[in-house]
Structure 1
C-alpha cells in the first residue's frame, strides 16, 4: 500500500490508497468513537446512532438513501466496534462523488426522526435477542464482560435491553455532537480515486464538520473471572481467555503467530489433539484480540456435555506443550498463514480501507506491507515459546460457558494450571 495522507483545514484526515487496475473504489469514514466512549446509561448508543444515520437526513429519506446508491449499482453499509464506528460505500469510480455526498449527508444532517427511532429501537432489540439465540456469538460478549467487568471495554456493543429502550433522540444528537468531530474522523478511499480529487471533495463536502479532536476512552483494566450460562443446547460452548498484549506492544505479532500455531488451522496443536486425535469437538480455535491499550488471548470450542469434562485439560496441556516445544516448522506454517491472509486481503479494496483505518487509529500512520511481513518474518520458535511461557503464568483467566457445560472443570482447578501455582510446579 502506498497511501497518500492529507489533513484538511477542519482537521479531517483524508487518505487514498490507489488501485489503478480497478474500475471502482471503496470509500468510507471511520469515526474514532465506539462502545468504549459510552456511559452506562447510554450503553449501545454508538450502535443505535450507526443504524439511525441511514434513517433519513434533511435532504434524503431513508428510502432515498437506499435508492440513490443502488440506482448506480453501489452499496452502503456501516458497523460499530468498541473503538470505532465506520460508514462505508462501494461504487464505480464515476459514482464515488455520489457515495461521498450520501456519506457526508448522513454524518452531518441526520434527523433522527422519533418515529424512525422507535421503529429502529425494536430492530435493535430483535438484534440483541438474536445474539442471545446464537451461543457461539453471545459467548464472546460474555467473555468480554468477564475479562473487563464494570467498564466500557466490557460492555456489549449492541447495548442492553434496558438502555436501548430508554435513550431518545436528544441523546443521539448530544452523543454525536460530542464525538463526531472532524479531528476524530478519517476519510479513506481504496481503489480508483485520485488523491487530489478526494481532497477536493473533502474540502467541499466535509467542510461542515465541526473541528475537534476525539475523546479519549477510559483505560481498559483486565480482571478475569467466570460466568456460566446454562441452557438447553446440544453443545457446550466454552471460551477461555488470558491477559494478552495491546496492538502497540512489541509482542503483538508474536501473539498472532502464537495463537495461529496453537489453534489457527487444521494443522494447529489444538485442532490435531482435541478434534483429530480425541474427537472431543467439531470446532476449536485460538484467538488474540488487541486494542491500543489492552488485549486478550484465548480459546473457543463447542463440545459435547460429557466431552466438556476433558477439554480444559487438553487446552491447558497444549498451551503448556507449545510453550515448551514450539518448533521452527510449525512457526513457519503459522507465519505463512498470517502472511497469506494479509496479502490476499490486500486484493480487496474494502479490506485495504479497513486495514488503513486500524493503522491510523493504533499507530497514527499506515504501515507498509513490507514492514508488516518483516515483523512476521522476524519471529522464531524461541519467541513463540517465550510468549507461551508468559501465558502459562497468567493469573485470573476469564472463562465463560454457555449450555450444558456443568462437567467443565471448576474455575479454581483450571486456574491452578496457570499463574503462581504453575510457576511452583515448574520449579519442583
Structure 2
C-alpha cells in the first residue's frame, strides 16, 4: 500500500516502526502490534533469518571502519554489555533457539516496558483508542536492572592486522550519559572537533596536512554512560603523525577558550541538524 515497515536494534532498545498513509493507520497499527506482541516465531523462519544475520556478520567483519569501531567499544566497555556487538557473534547467533527468543520476549516485551510514539495528522485520542483494541494483554510487573560500567582507567590499545590498502584508527574516551546536565556541552564539543567539514580535525588533518581522506567524530550517549570517539582512514605510514596532530588538537581544546564565533557556528549547526531530523 505504498508504506514501509522496518525495525532496528541499538545498545539499549529495539524499535519497530512504520511510515504510511493516514488512511492505512488501522491496518498498519495492527501489523506492528502483531509483530511485537504476537509473533509466530516459526522455527523455519528463525533458521532463515539466522542465515541472513550470519551473512551480515561477515559483511561487517569485512568493513575495516566498522571493525575498528567494534574493537574500540570492547576497550571502552570491557566486560560490559555496551562493549559487545549488537548483532552478536557467529557462535551466539548459531546458538540461539526458539525457547531463548520466547523467554526473552516474556521478560522484555511487556506493555509496561513499551514506549509508543506517533507523528501524523491523527489525534492522540484515536491512537489510544486503536491501541486499546489491539493491546489486551495484561501487563506483568517487570524489574529490569542494568549494570553500570566500571570506571575506565589507563591506556588501552588493540591492534588487528589485515591485508588492506588503508588503515583505520579509532580513538575513544568515556563521556556523559543522556541524563547528564553536560550532554549539550558534549554535543557541541563533538561539532567543534569533527562532526562536519568545517570542524577542527577535518581542517587540520585533511585540508591542511592531507593526512587522511576520512576523519570524523561521534558523541554517543546511553542511560548510564557515553563515549566520544574519533575515526580516521589513512595510510599506515601516516598514523604516528596523524595521532600526534589529533592529540594536539584535543589539548588545544582543553587549554584554549573556544571563540564566540566558533561556538555560535557549532550551535547553529546543531540546531539545524535537530530541525532537519524532525522532518524525516
Q: TM-score range by the shorter chain?
A: over 0.9
For 1:213-246, what per-residue CA distance to the aligned partner results, in whole angstroms no more than 9, with x for missing partners?
A: 4612221235362211111111110110112111
Identify if the C-alpha distance between structure 1 residues 213 and 247 changes in structure 2 by more than 3 Å, giving closer, same or farther.
same
For 1:157-176, list aligned pairs within 5 A.
Answer: 157-176=86-105
* 1:299 match: secondary structure: strand
For 1:171-228, what per-residue CA distance to the aligned partner results, in whole angstroms no more than 9, with x for missing partners?
A: 0000100110111101111112210000001111012263334612221235362211
Residue 122 in structure 1 maps to residue 54 in structure 2: no
TM-score using structure 2 length: 0.95
**8 Å Cα contact 1:182/1:213 also seen in 2:** no
Q: For the residues of structure 1 that align with 2:148 and 2:42, how far apart are their CA atoms?
A: 34
For 1:4-403, list aligned pairs within 5 A.
Answer: 72-208=1-137, 210-213=139-142, 215-223=144-152, 225-325=156-256, 326-348=258-280
TM-score using structure 1 length: 0.63
**8 Å Cα contact 1:93/1:193 also seen in 2:** yes
Identify if the C-alpha distance between structure 1 residues 265 and 122 changes in structure 2 by more than 3 Å, giving closer, same or farther.
same
Query: 4+ residue stretches of structure 1 with deviation over 6 A?
Result: none
Q: 1:269 Cα shift?
A: 0.9
Q: For the residues of structure 1 that align with 2:85 and 2:150, how far apart are their CA atoms?
A: 16
Q: For the residues of structure 2 that align with 1:216 and 1:191, how far apart are their CA atoms?
A: 34
Q: For the residues of structure 2 that align with 1:300 and 1:91, how far apart are their CA atoms?
A: 36
* 2:118 match: secondary structure: strand
Q: For the residues of structure 2 that align with 1:84 and 1:262, how far apart are their CA atoms?
A: 28
Please, which runs of 5 or more residues in structure 2 have no aligned partner? none
* 1:188 match: secondary structure: coil
Q: For the residues of structure 1 that align with 2:138 and 2:71, how far apart are their CA atoms?
A: 36
Alignment partner, residue 20 of structure 1: none
Identify if the C-alpha distance between structure 1 residues 209 and 235 changes in structure 2 by more than 3 Å, giving closer, same or farther.
farther
Identify if the C-alpha distance between structure 1 residues 134 and 250 changes in structure 2 by more than 3 Å, giving closer, same or farther.
same
* 1:300 match: secondary structure: strand
**8 Å Cα contact 2:107/2:142 also seen in 1:** no
Instruction: Identify, as 1 or 2, the structure richer in strand.
Output: 1
Please, which runs of 5 or more residues in structure 1 have no aligned partner? 1-71, 349-428
* 2:12 match: secondary structure: coil
Identify if the C-alpha distance between structure 1 residues 209 and 117 changes in structure 2 by more than 3 Å, giving closer, same or farther.
farther
> How many matched pairs?
277
* 1:225 match: secondary structure: coil
Q: 1:84 Cα shift?
A: 0.5
* 2:169 match: secondary structure: strand
Q: For the residues of structure 1 that align with 2:59 and 2:151, how far apart are their CA atoms?
A: 28
Q: For the residues of structure 1 that align with 2:27 and 2:140, how far apart are their CA atoms?
A: 24
**8 Å Cα contact 1:181/1:214 also seen in 2:** no
RMSD: 1.3
